[in-house]
Amino acid sequence: MQLFDLSGKTALVTGSSQGIGLALAKGLAEAGARVVLNGRDAARLQTAAADIPGALTLPFDATDHAGVRAAVDGFEAENGAIDILVNNAGMQHRGPLEEFPAEAFERLLQTNVASVFHVGQAVARHMIKRGAGKIINIASVQTALARPGIAPYTATKGAVGNLTKGMATDWARHGLQCNAIAPGYFETPLNAALVADPAFSEWLAKRTPAGRWGRVEELVGACIFLASPASSFVNGHTLYVDGGITASL
């Protein structure tokens, strides 16, 4: 279907050497896009790219403003336009709020929020000149809900949701669509400790109407929709892909 066809488009996915980022990159490639994998570890990116026909790699630290700008500008000059950006880079740190290390809080802010600003701004500068572009930020079920032990992470994902609205408000008039995907609980390396905890998995099955963990492949359809012409009048929206957890008490 042409509405969902990404042929001829180039998609940059940050934090895409594993987990959700890699699954989304594979899905975008299957929809016709040329994908560009990003992370700080060049070797891991090369390993991931080997599974995606035509994939490119662009190693940089998404928390380094100057480094991001140089990498994005250099790629555009050498390889052409970045039509789709998926801001996926993120991290987690768990602990009681009253004992939460200040340095861990700063790392969360830089990795989960500042990276979205740095990469989003660097890519949007080019998109604005062309009058078109798709930016998809990876939020979380914690954009709307909180759980014990992850208050700083919850704060960062709330910020991602509002930054997405701000991007849309500033950039929609330039032809950009800026939206977010908010995953619920998915089996990823970031959640490995929770997946391995039978008590948590039992709680999750009862708390989630779908009754199970999500699979990363189940995020691909939402990403293709927001990356494609099908979402041409969708802007500033956070799409929850969570098995119904935000819909149910």
| Residues known to be catalytic | 153
Give the DSSP H or E segment for 134.
strand 133-138
**Which class for 43: exposed (0-12), middle (13-18), buried (19 or more C-beta within 10 A)?**
exposed
Question: If residue 11 lies in a helix (H) or strand (E), which one and from where to where?
Answer: strand 10-13
Q: Are 185 and 191 in contact (CB under 8 A)?
A: yes
Q: Tell the residue number behind the tokens 């008039």, with chain if given.
A: 173
* CA-closest candidate to residue 105, choices 72, 141, 151, 60: 151
- Report the distance separating Cα 9 and Cα 15, nearest Å: 19
Yes or no: say if 176 and 133 are a contact pair by the CB < 8 Å rule: yes
Classify strands 56-57 and 84-87 as parallel, antiparallel or unpaired.
Answer: unpaired
Alpha helices by DSSP H, listed for the chain, are 19-30, 42-49, 65-79, 102-108, 115-130, 151-171, 192-195, 198-207, 220-227
Angle separating helix axes 65-79 and 115-130, nearest 10 degrees: 30
| Residue 94 parent element (H or E) | none
Give φ, ψ of 215 to 5 degrees.
-105, 140
Q: Is 215 helix (H, G, I), strand (E, B) or coil?
A: coil
